[in-house]
Structure 1
Protein backbone atom coordinates (compact mmCIF):
# COMPACT_ATOMS: atom_id res chain seq x y z
CA UNK A 1 0.00 0.00 0.00
CA UNK A 2 1.17 3.54 -0.75
CA UNK A 3 2.84 5.38 2.15
CA UNK A 4 1.03 8.61 1.29
CA UNK A 5 -2.33 6.87 1.30
CA UNK A 6 -1.66 5.16 4.63
CA UNK A 7 -0.46 8.41 6.20
CA UNK A 8 -3.41 10.38 4.92
CA UNK A 9 -5.96 7.82 6.14
CA UNK A 10 -4.47 7.60 9.60
CA UNK A 11 -4.04 11.38 9.84
CA UNK A 12 -7.65 11.96 8.80
CA UNK A 13 -8.82 9.40 11.35
CA UNK A 14 -6.73 11.07 14.06
CA UNK A 15 -8.10 14.50 13.14
CA UNK A 16 -11.69 13.24 13.20
CA UNK A 17 -11.10 11.50 16.54
CA UNK A 18 -9.49 14.64 17.96
CA UNK A 19 -12.37 16.81 16.72
CA UNK A 20 -14.89 14.52 18.38
CA UNK A 21 -12.93 14.66 21.64
CA UNK A 22 -12.08 18.39 21.39
CA UNK A 23 -8.33 17.77 21.50
CA UNK A 24 -7.21 18.87 18.03
CA UNK A 25 -5.03 21.69 19.38
CA UNK A 26 -3.39 19.51 22.04
CA UNK A 27 -2.60 16.73 19.58
CA UNK A 28 -1.29 19.28 17.08
CA UNK A 29 1.19 20.57 19.66
CA UNK A 30 2.20 17.02 20.59
CA UNK A 31 2.86 15.93 17.00
CA UNK A 32 4.84 19.14 16.35
CA UNK A 33 6.99 18.35 19.37
CA UNK A 34 7.38 14.78 18.13
CA UNK A 35 8.56 16.09 14.74
CA UNK A 36 11.18 18.34 16.37
CA UNK A 37 12.53 15.42 18.40
CA UNK A 38 12.36 13.02 15.45
CA UNK A 39 14.52 15.33 13.33
CA UNK A 40 17.02 16.00 16.10
CA UNK A 41 17.32 12.29 17.07
CA UNK A 42 17.68 10.14 13.92
CA UNK A 43 18.15 7.02 16.05
CA UNK A 44 14.43 7.24 16.91
CA UNK A 45 13.53 6.00 13.42
CA UNK A 46 15.92 3.05 13.78
CA UNK A 47 14.45 2.14 17.16
CA UNK A 48 10.89 2.21 15.81
CA UNK A 49 11.84 -0.14 12.99
CA UNK A 50 13.66 -2.55 15.31
CA UNK A 51 11.67 -5.82 15.35
CA UNK A 52 13.23 -6.81 18.69
CA UNK A 53 11.53 -3.94 20.55
CA UNK A 54 8.21 -4.89 22.09
CA UNK A 55 5.01 -2.96 21.42
CA UNK A 56 5.14 -1.62 24.98
CA UNK A 57 8.70 -0.34 24.45
CA UNK A 58 7.71 1.34 21.19
CA UNK A 59 4.74 2.97 22.92
CA UNK A 60 7.04 4.27 25.67
CA UNK A 61 9.48 5.53 23.06
CA UNK A 62 6.77 7.41 21.14
CA UNK A 63 5.38 8.83 24.38
CA UNK A 64 8.84 10.04 25.42
CA UNK A 65 9.42 11.54 21.95
CA UNK A 66 6.81 14.18 22.72
CA UNK A 67 9.04 15.54 25.47
CA UNK A 68 6.23 16.10 27.97
CA UNK A 69 3.57 13.85 29.37
CA UNK A 70 1.38 13.14 26.35
CA UNK A 71 -2.39 13.25 26.51
CA UNK A 72 -4.51 10.11 26.61
CA UNK A 73 -5.79 10.65 23.06
CA UNK A 74 -2.24 10.79 21.73
CA UNK A 75 -1.40 7.56 23.55
CA UNK A 76 -4.52 5.82 22.28
CA UNK A 77 -3.56 6.71 18.73
CA UNK A 78 0.01 5.49 19.28
CA UNK A 79 -1.35 2.17 20.56
CA UNK A 80 -3.56 1.85 17.48
CA UNK A 81 -0.64 2.54 15.13
CA UNK A 82 1.57 0.01 16.91
CA UNK A 83 -1.21 -2.58 17.06
CA UNK A 84 -1.67 -2.25 13.27
CA UNK A 85 2.11 -2.41 12.76
CA UNK A 86 2.26 1.02 11.12
CA UNK A 87 4.92 2.58 13.36
CA UNK A 88 7.21 2.98 10.35
CA UNK A 89 4.71 5.54 9.03
CA UNK A 90 4.31 7.52 12.25
CA UNK A 91 6.32 10.53 11.10
CA UNK A 92 4.49 10.85 7.78
CA UNK A 93 1.16 10.39 9.60
CA UNK A 94 2.04 13.23 11.96
CA UNK A 95 3.22 15.47 9.13
CA UNK A 96 -0.06 14.85 7.31
CA UNK A 97 -2.01 15.55 10.50
CA UNK A 98 -0.25 18.90 10.81
CA UNK A 99 -1.13 19.72 7.21
CA UNK A 100 -4.78 18.75 7.68
CA UNK A 101 -4.96 20.69 10.95
CA UNK A 102 -3.56 23.86 9.36
CA UNK A 103 -5.98 23.45 6.47
CA UNK A 104 -8.91 23.03 8.88
CA UNK A 105 -7.92 26.01 11.03
CA UNK A 106 -6.86 28.09 7.97
CA UNK A 107 -3.33 28.61 9.25
CA UNK A 108 -0.63 29.59 6.77
CA UNK A 109 2.82 28.22 7.51
CA UNK A 110 5.60 30.74 6.93
CA UNK A 111 9.20 29.52 6.89
CA UNK A 112 11.86 32.22 7.07
CA UNK A 113 15.34 31.04 6.11
CA UNK A 114 18.34 33.30 6.71
CA UNK A 115 22.09 32.83 6.49
CA UNK A 116 22.57 33.72 10.15
CA UNK A 117 20.51 33.91 13.31
CA UNK A 118 18.25 36.96 13.49
CA UNK A 119 17.52 38.88 16.66
CA UNK A 120 13.97 38.95 18.02
CA UNK A 121 13.40 42.52 16.82
CA UNK A 122 14.14 41.63 13.18
CA UNK A 123 11.98 38.51 13.36
CA UNK A 124 9.20 40.57 14.92
CA UNK A 125 9.30 43.09 12.07
CA UNK A 126 9.16 40.32 9.46
CA UNK A 127 6.28 38.65 11.29
CA UNK A 128 4.26 41.85 11.55
CA UNK A 129 4.79 42.59 7.85
CA UNK A 130 3.65 39.09 6.87
CA UNK A 131 0.68 39.23 9.26
CA UNK A 132 -0.49 42.48 7.62
CA UNK A 133 -0.38 40.88 4.17
CA UNK A 134 -1.67 37.42 5.09
CA UNK A 135 -5.12 38.23 6.39
CA UNK A 136 -5.23 34.91 8.27
CA UNK A 137 -3.54 33.15 11.16
CA UNK A 138 0.12 32.46 10.52
CA UNK A 139 2.57 29.97 12.02
CA UNK A 140 6.22 31.06 11.80
CA UNK A 141 9.31 28.89 11.53
CA UNK A 142 12.77 30.48 11.44
CA UNK A 143 15.68 28.43 10.10
CA UNK A 144 19.33 29.26 9.67
CA UNK A 145 21.04 27.98 6.51
CA UNK A 146 24.56 29.37 5.95
CA UNK A 147 24.58 27.95 2.40
CA UNK A 148 22.36 30.82 1.18
CA UNK A 149 25.33 33.12 1.99
CA UNK A 150 23.15 36.18 2.68
CA UNK A 151 19.67 37.56 2.19
CA UNK A 152 16.63 35.44 2.98
CA UNK A 153 14.09 32.97 1.67
CA UNK A 154 10.44 33.18 2.69
CA UNK A 155 8.13 30.23 2.06
CA UNK A 156 4.41 30.66 2.59
CA UNK A 157 2.76 27.27 2.24
CA UNK A 158 3.80 26.26 -1.30
CA UNK A 159 4.95 29.70 -2.53
CA UNK A 160 8.54 30.91 -2.20
CA UNK A 161 10.32 34.25 -2.37
CA UNK A 162 14.06 33.69 -2.74
CA UNK A 163 16.10 36.84 -2.10
CA UNK A 164 19.28 35.00 -1.19
CA UNK A 165 22.79 35.84 -2.34
CA UNK A 166 23.21 32.21 -3.38
CA UNK A 167 20.33 32.53 -5.86
CA UNK A 168 21.71 35.77 -7.25
CA UNK A 169 25.12 34.15 -7.76
CA UNK A 170 23.52 31.23 -9.60
CA UNK A 171 21.58 33.62 -11.85
CA UNK A 172 24.75 35.61 -12.56
CA UNK A 173 26.61 32.38 -13.40
CA UNK A 174 23.84 31.38 -15.84
CA UNK A 175 23.99 34.78 -17.51
CA UNK A 176 27.74 34.53 -17.91
CA UNK A 177 27.50 31.02 -19.34
CA UNK A 178 24.79 32.07 -21.78
CA UNK A 179 26.75 35.12 -22.89
CA UNK A 180 29.80 32.90 -23.54
CA UNK A 181 27.71 30.61 -25.75
CA UNK A 182 26.53 33.57 -27.84
CA UNK A 183 30.10 34.69 -28.59
Structure 2
Protein backbone atom coordinates (compact mmCIF):
# COMPACT_ATOMS: atom_id res chain seq x y z
CA UNK A 1 0.00 0.00 0.00
CA UNK A 2 1.13 3.55 -0.71
CA UNK A 3 2.99 5.06 2.29
CA UNK A 4 1.48 8.48 1.62
CA UNK A 5 -2.03 7.06 1.81
CA UNK A 6 -1.12 5.16 4.97
CA UNK A 7 0.24 8.35 6.56
CA UNK A 8 -2.93 10.29 5.72
CA UNK A 9 -5.16 7.61 7.21
CA UNK A 10 -3.15 7.30 10.41
CA UNK A 11 -2.93 11.09 10.74
CA UNK A 12 -6.71 11.47 10.38
CA UNK A 13 -7.27 8.70 12.92
CA UNK A 14 -4.83 10.33 15.34
CA UNK A 15 -6.56 13.70 14.93
CA UNK A 16 -9.97 12.14 15.55
CA UNK A 17 -8.62 10.31 18.60
CA UNK A 18 -7.00 13.52 19.88
CA UNK A 19 -10.20 15.53 19.31
CA UNK A 20 -12.22 12.98 21.26
CA UNK A 21 -9.80 13.45 24.17
CA UNK A 22 -9.41 17.25 23.78
CA UNK A 23 -5.67 16.82 23.14
CA UNK A 24 -5.39 17.85 19.51
CA UNK A 25 -3.24 20.93 20.22
CA UNK A 26 -0.97 18.93 22.53
CA UNK A 27 -0.47 16.23 19.88
CA UNK A 28 0.06 18.96 17.27
CA UNK A 29 2.91 20.44 19.30
CA UNK A 30 4.42 16.99 19.77
CA UNK A 31 4.14 16.41 16.01
CA UNK A 32 5.96 19.70 15.33
CA UNK A 33 8.69 18.80 17.82
CA UNK A 34 9.11 15.28 16.45
CA UNK A 35 9.18 16.58 12.88
CA UNK A 36 12.08 18.87 13.83
CA UNK A 37 13.88 15.90 15.37
CA UNK A 38 13.45 13.92 12.13
CA UNK A 39 14.95 16.81 10.16
CA UNK A 40 17.88 17.22 12.55
CA UNK A 41 18.48 13.47 12.98
CA UNK A 42 17.92 11.55 9.73
CA UNK A 43 19.32 8.43 11.38
CA UNK A 44 16.09 8.17 13.42
CA UNK A 45 14.09 7.40 10.29
CA UNK A 46 16.74 4.90 9.19
CA UNK A 47 16.57 3.16 12.58
CA UNK A 48 12.77 2.95 12.44
CA UNK A 49 12.95 1.34 9.00
CA UNK A 50 15.59 -1.21 10.05
CA UNK A 51 13.97 -4.65 10.47
CA UNK A 52 16.90 -5.86 12.61
CA UNK A 53 16.15 -3.42 15.43
CA UNK A 54 13.53 -4.81 17.84
CA UNK A 55 10.23 -2.94 18.27
CA UNK A 56 10.98 -2.34 21.95
CA UNK A 57 14.17 -0.49 21.01
CA UNK A 58 12.32 1.48 18.31
CA UNK A 59 9.74 2.48 20.92
CA UNK A 60 12.55 3.79 23.13
CA UNK A 61 14.00 5.75 20.19
CA UNK A 62 10.64 7.40 19.49
CA UNK A 63 10.01 8.22 23.15
CA UNK A 64 13.49 9.72 23.52
CA UNK A 65 13.07 11.71 20.29
CA UNK A 66 9.65 12.97 21.41
CA UNK A 67 11.10 14.74 24.43
CA UNK A 68 10.13 14.74 28.08
CA UNK A 69 6.52 15.91 27.71
CA UNK A 70 5.15 12.96 25.76
CA UNK A 71 1.46 12.36 26.44
CA UNK A 72 -0.20 9.03 27.23
CA UNK A 73 -2.37 9.45 24.16
CA UNK A 74 0.70 9.81 21.96
CA UNK A 75 2.30 6.77 23.61
CA UNK A 76 -0.79 4.72 22.76
CA UNK A 77 -0.49 5.89 19.18
CA UNK A 78 3.20 4.92 19.05
CA UNK A 79 2.29 1.47 20.39
CA UNK A 80 -0.37 1.14 17.68
CA UNK A 81 2.16 2.02 14.98
CA UNK A 82 4.64 -0.51 16.31
CA UNK A 83 1.95 -3.19 16.63
CA UNK A 84 0.96 -2.66 12.97
CA UNK A 85 4.57 -2.31 11.74
CA UNK A 86 3.98 1.26 10.56
CA UNK A 87 6.75 2.98 12.56
CA UNK A 88 8.60 3.70 9.30
CA UNK A 89 5.70 6.02 8.37
CA UNK A 90 5.96 8.10 11.56
CA UNK A 91 7.62 11.11 9.94
CA UNK A 92 5.02 11.24 7.16
CA UNK A 93 2.22 10.75 9.67
CA UNK A 94 3.50 13.70 11.73
CA UNK A 95 3.52 15.90 8.63
CA UNK A 96 0.04 14.76 7.62
CA UNK A 97 -1.24 15.28 11.16
CA UNK A 98 -0.01 18.88 11.09
CA UNK A 99 -1.80 19.46 7.79
CA UNK A 100 -5.01 17.84 9.01
CA UNK A 101 -4.91 19.81 12.27
CA UNK A 102 -4.32 23.09 10.45
CA UNK A 103 -7.21 22.40 8.06
CA UNK A 104 -9.55 21.48 10.89
CA UNK A 105 -8.69 24.67 12.79
CA UNK A 106 -8.52 26.87 9.65
CA UNK A 107 -4.87 27.70 10.33
CA UNK A 108 -2.42 28.75 7.64
CA UNK A 109 1.26 28.25 8.39
CA UNK A 110 3.80 30.35 6.67
CA UNK A 111 7.12 32.12 6.67
CA UNK A 112 7.70 35.83 6.94
CA UNK A 113 11.11 36.72 5.53
CA UNK A 114 12.47 40.18 6.23
CA UNK A 115 15.84 41.86 5.73
CA UNK A 116 16.04 42.90 9.38
CA UNK A 117 14.39 41.82 12.62
CA UNK A 118 10.99 43.48 12.91
CA UNK A 119 9.11 44.26 16.10
CA UNK A 120 6.19 42.18 17.35
CA UNK A 121 3.70 45.02 16.87
CA UNK A 122 4.46 45.20 13.15
CA UNK A 123 4.19 41.42 12.84
CA UNK A 124 0.88 41.42 14.73
CA UNK A 125 -0.50 44.14 12.44
CA UNK A 126 0.60 42.22 9.35
CA UNK A 127 -0.92 38.99 10.67
CA UNK A 128 -4.20 40.74 11.49
CA UNK A 129 -4.52 42.24 8.01
CA UNK A 130 -3.66 38.93 6.30
CA UNK A 131 -6.01 36.93 8.55
CA UNK A 132 -8.79 39.25 7.47
CA UNK A 133 -8.04 38.55 3.78
CA UNK A 134 -7.59 34.77 4.07
CA UNK A 135 -10.38 34.30 6.63
CA UNK A 136 -8.32 32.05 8.86
CA UNK A 137 -5.74 32.04 11.61
CA UNK A 138 -2.11 32.58 10.70
CA UNK A 139 1.00 31.05 12.27
CA UNK A 140 4.18 32.64 10.97
CA UNK A 141 7.79 31.64 11.31
CA UNK A 142 9.92 34.78 11.21
CA UNK A 143 13.14 34.54 9.19
CA UNK A 144 15.74 37.27 8.78
CA UNK A 145 17.47 37.23 5.39
CA UNK A 146 19.58 40.34 4.68
CA UNK A 147 19.96 39.37 1.01
CA UNK A 148 16.43 40.61 0.24
CA UNK A 149 17.70 44.13 1.14
CA UNK A 150 14.32 45.42 2.34
CA UNK A 151 10.60 44.78 2.32
CA UNK A 152 9.34 41.27 3.00
CA UNK A 153 8.47 37.92 1.46
CA UNK A 154 5.46 36.05 2.79
CA UNK A 155 5.04 32.35 2.00
CA UNK A 156 1.65 30.83 2.84
CA UNK A 157 1.02 27.29 1.70
CA UNK A 158 1.55 27.47 -2.06
CA UNK A 159 1.27 31.28 -2.32
CA UNK A 160 4.15 33.73 -2.18
CA UNK A 161 3.85 37.49 -1.79
CA UNK A 162 7.18 39.00 -2.68
CA UNK A 163 7.45 42.66 -1.70
CA UNK A 164 11.22 42.53 -1.33
CA UNK A 165 13.54 45.23 -2.54
CA UNK A 166 15.76 42.69 -4.30
CA UNK A 167 12.81 41.48 -6.42
CA UNK A 168 11.90 45.04 -7.33
CA UNK A 169 15.50 45.83 -8.27
CA UNK A 170 15.73 42.67 -10.36
CA UNK A 171 12.48 43.62 -12.09
CA UNK A 172 13.86 47.08 -12.95
CA UNK A 173 17.11 45.50 -14.14
CA UNK A 174 15.16 43.09 -16.39
CA UNK A 175 13.13 45.97 -17.84
CA UNK A 176 16.32 47.92 -18.50
CA UNK A 177 17.86 44.93 -20.29
CA UNK A 178 14.73 44.49 -22.45
CA UNK A 179 14.69 48.18 -23.40
CA UNK A 180 18.39 48.09 -24.33
CA UNK A 181 17.87 44.97 -26.50
CA UNK A 182 15.24 46.78 -28.53
CA UNK A 183 17.57 49.74 -29.09
CA UNK A 184 20.43 47.60 -30.41
Which residue does 1:72 correspond to in 2? Answer: 72
Which deviates more from structure 2 when the two are superposed, residues 100-109 or residues 79-88? 79-88
Runs of 4 or more above 6 Å deviation: none
Which residue does 1:161 correspond to in 2? Answer: 161
Question: 8 Å contact 1:63–1:69 — kept in the other structure?
Answer: no
Shift of 1:176: 4.3
Which deviates more from structure 2 when the two are superposed, residues 101-110 or residues 113-122? 113-122
* Structure ID, larger Rg: 2
Distance 1:172 1:86 in 2: 52
Q: 1:109 aligned to 2:116?
A: no
Distance 1:180 1:51 in 2: 63
Note the alpha carbon deviations across 1:16-38, whole angstroms, 9 max, x for none.
22223332222112111212333
Give the alignment's TM-score, normalised by structure 2: 0.80
Give the alignment's TM-score, normalised by structure 1: 0.80
Runs (5+) with no aligned partner, structure 2: none
Question: 8 Å contact 1:115–1:150 — kept in the other structure?
Answer: yes
Note the alpha carbon deviations across 1:70-111, whole angstroms, 9 max, x for none.
111111212222333333322221111111111112223242
Distance 1:76 1:50 in 2: 22
Shift of 1:169: 4.2
